[in-house]
């Protein structure tokens, strides 16, 4: 068991407010290993405490974790703030015989999709939620089948439910001349499956109703009973374009369970590789935005830069998308000081070309006309939906886990968090350019002062326990919850990726704009369907 630790000012505030508002109804415990605050509470306090954290104390919902622990369900609501201190875990126990929980989504709207997902996958009922059912599990799944339950046997096929031939999508807009325009779920090129039902009047999109999970893969279910090494492979591969970030979050969770201290050199190299991945990701996102506006030359220039960064990554690490590098305790490969400096120099040359492209785009009126004041997400809506990453920062929510909850030695790095206020497509593009430049700057800092010592470290012996790992992935905050059983195998694995969080708020940008703006707005979000369809 983790030893008690001194609470931070943030946690002291929570302790004082809990004692004043709900005397004797909540119990707080501060733990050193997880660097977190655990709050045990009852269903009667849940909604009020979550509302207090989200609306008054300005915390953000990170994740909702469901664990089946007979005779109870354990629901863990994780919040984090930006005033210092680690995450706050609200632990609620609910009898399995009565799996009904008060919904918090009315006040903490960021919990909306989390509750809908838990209802589908575990069979819990969130009382007061306006729209449960038919979310992750589409209509061919039979009623009463919940694939994350311990009783569900994934090795046996289930009988598909017959579709209703008279089924029609729910219609919201009833104005004269309104019609429904389906987009997807099948696209050309390499886009993953997703369906958007646009309700329009003329050219104006009034409502955007998204539908994902056409390729629900059950990664969390597959991880159960797997070894740490096998689960690490799942963490790395479920979102290939952010492979290093997700594998790092998983490894950090396992390292907390095993109480392993990662060597300074390995921590520094992790920062280097994470920023190399961010640099490549943002250049790819910029290329996507250029393509969405039919700017062929700029698209080609950005795509060439992405390809050159991929080749640089491959030469440096052996894999273009940085697979196979993380393991609990360190890295699989050490990299010489000279190699990191040469890689940084090459990245700086590519950055100069990227900044030249930025200058050209700044003075392309036809390009700016498609981005400025288009796809606006106001700051208050970004906060309400708990948006993360470049999308949130473009709307004035200046939050970054590298600063808010520092990991891998980021507290020693000199960088500022870029932010914009407009919340439109051009603000999101500017954030991408500034963060790409910032990533190369961090790589330069790491390469110039790599600590001596080992970068490769023997994996720790498996231990039982649970912990939360997190990273600021290229698309935003990512959280990985890992519980290891007595045999050291994975008992529960929960992933909350940034695309899941941000797709929830995508309709905010798409509504009240012209139909032809839709693909451009989607490109400025730069999200991954596969990352959400885990």
DSSP 269-322: HHHHHHHHHHHHHHHHHHHHHHHHTT-HHHHHHHHHHHHHHHHHHHHHHSSTT-
Residue 71, preceding peptide bond in cis (omega within 30° of 0): yes
How far is 86 from 315, CA to CA, in rounded Å? 37
In CATH, what class is 9-127? alpha beta
pLDDT of residue 233: 96
Contact assessment for residue 44 and residue 100, using Cβ atoms and an 8 Å cutoff: no
- 219-532 has the same fold as 9-127: no
Residue 434 has pLDDT above 60, yes or no: yes
Query: What is the end-to-end Cα distance of the chain in Å, rounded?
Result: 31
Q: Is 110 helix (H, G, I), strand (E, B) or coil?
A: helix
User: Hey, where are the domains in the chain?
Assistant: 9-127, 219-532
Beta bridge partners of 126: 101
Question: 114 exposed, middle or buried (CB, 10 Å; 0-12, 13-18, 19+)?
Answer: buried
DSSP state at residue 263: P
Question: Are β-strands 36-41 and 178-183 bridged in parallel, bridged antiparallel, or unpaired?
Answer: unpaired
pLDDT of residue 155: 82
By C-alpha distance, which of 260, 255, 358 is closest to 305?
358
Q: What is the mean pLDDT of residues 271-285?
A: 98
Q: Is 204 helix (H, G, I), strand (E, B) or coil?
A: strand
Give the architecture (CATH level 2) of 219-532: Orthogonal Bundle (1.10)
**What confidence tier does 33 reach under pLDDT thresholds 50, 70, 90?**
low
At 254-270, the pLDDT tens digits run 999 999 999 999 999 99
Question: Are β-strands 476-484 and 490-496 bridged in parallel, bridged antiparallel, or unpaired?
Answer: antiparallel
Residue labelled with tokens 């325009």: 181
How far is 2 from 257, CA to CA, in rounded Å? 10
Cα dihedral 77, 83, 84, 90 in deg (nearest 10) = -10
How far is 388 from 477, CA to CA, in rounded Å? 6
Q: What is the mean pLDDT of residues 417-434?
A: 97
The model's pTM is 0.94
Q: What is the mean pLDDT of residues 473-482?
A: 97
Please list, in sequence order, all residues whose beta carbon lies within 8 angstroms of the beta carbon of residue 365, skipping any fewer than 6 positions away.
Answer: none
At 160-209, the pLDDT tens digits run 877 777 767 777 777 777 788 888 888 877 778 999 999 888 888 889 98
How far is 489 from 471, CA to CA, in rounded Å? 23
Question: 33 exposed, middle or buried (CB, 10 Å; 0-12, 13-18, 19+)?
Answer: middle
Contact assessment for residue 70 and residue 62, using Cβ atoms and an 8 Å cutoff: no
Residue 468 has pLDDT above 70, yes or no: yes
Instruction: Calculate the average pLDDT of the chain.
Output: 91
pLDDT of residue 1: 35
């Amino acid at each position: 068991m983790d030893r008690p630790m001194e609470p931070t000012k943030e946690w002291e505030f929570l302790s004082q407010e809990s004692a004043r508002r709900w005397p004797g109804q909540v119990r707080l415990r501060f733990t050193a290993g997880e660097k977190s605050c655990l709050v045990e509470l009852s269903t009667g306090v849940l909604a009020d405490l979550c509302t207090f954290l989200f609306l008054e104390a300005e915390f953000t919902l990170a994740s909702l974790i469901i664990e089946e622990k007979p005779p109870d369900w354990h629901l863990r609501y994780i919040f984090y703030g930006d005033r210092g201190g680690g995450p706050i875990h609200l632990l609620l126990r609910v009898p399995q015989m009565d799996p009904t929980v008060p919904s918090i989504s009315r006040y903490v709207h960021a919990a909306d999709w989390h509750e809908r997902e838990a209802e589908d996958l575990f069979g819990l009922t969130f009382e007061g939620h306006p729209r449960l059912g038919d979310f992750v599990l589409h209509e061919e799944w039979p009623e009463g089948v919940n694939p994350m339950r311990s009783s569900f046997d994934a090795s046996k096929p289930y009988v598909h439910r017959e579709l209703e031939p008279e089924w029609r999508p729910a219609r919201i807009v009833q104005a004269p001349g309104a019609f429904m325009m389906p987009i997807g779920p099948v696209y050309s090129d390499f886009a993953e499956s997703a369906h958007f039902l646009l309700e329009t009047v003329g050219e104006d999109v009034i409502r955007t109703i998204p539908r994902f999970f056409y390729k629900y893969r059950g990664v969390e279910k597959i991880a159960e009973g797997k070894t740490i090494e096998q689960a690490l492979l799942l963490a790395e591969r479920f979102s290939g374009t952010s492979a290093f970030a997700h594998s790092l979050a998983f490894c950090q969770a396992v390292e907390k369970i095993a109480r392993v201290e990662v060597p300074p050199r390995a921590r520094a190299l992790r920062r280097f590789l994470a920023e190399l991945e961010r640099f490549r990701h943002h250049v790819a996102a910029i290329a996507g935005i250029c393509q969405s506006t039919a700017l062929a030359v700029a698209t080609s220039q950005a795509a060439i830069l992405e390809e050159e960064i991929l080749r640089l990554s491959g030469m440096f690490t052996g894999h273009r998308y940085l697979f196979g590098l993380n393991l609990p305790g360190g890295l699989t490969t050490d990299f010489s000081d000279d190699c990191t400096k040469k890689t940084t120099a090459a990245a700086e040359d590519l950055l100069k070309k990227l900044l030249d492209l930025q200058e050209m785009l700044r003075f392309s009126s036809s390009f700016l006309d498609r981005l400025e004041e288009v796809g606006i997400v106001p700051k208050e809506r970004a906060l309400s939906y708990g948006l993360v990453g470049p999308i949130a920062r473009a709307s004035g929510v200046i939050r970054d886990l590298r600063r808010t909850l520092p990991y891998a030695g980021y507290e020693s790095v000199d960088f500022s968090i870029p932010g914009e206020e407009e919340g439109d497509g051009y603000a999101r593009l500017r954030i991408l350019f500034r963060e790409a430049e910032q990533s190369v700057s961090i790589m330069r800092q790491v390469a110039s002062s790599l600590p001596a010592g080992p970068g490769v470290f023997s994996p720790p012996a498996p231990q039982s326990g649970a912990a939360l790992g997190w990273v600021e992935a290229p698309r935003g905050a990512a959280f990985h919850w890992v519980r290891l059983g007595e045999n050291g195998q994975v008992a529960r694995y929960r992933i909350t990726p940034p695309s899941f969080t941000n797709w929830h708020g995508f309709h905010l940008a798409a509504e009240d704009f012209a139909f032809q703006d839709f693909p451009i707005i989607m490109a400025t979000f730069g999200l991954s369907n596969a990352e959400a369809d885990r």
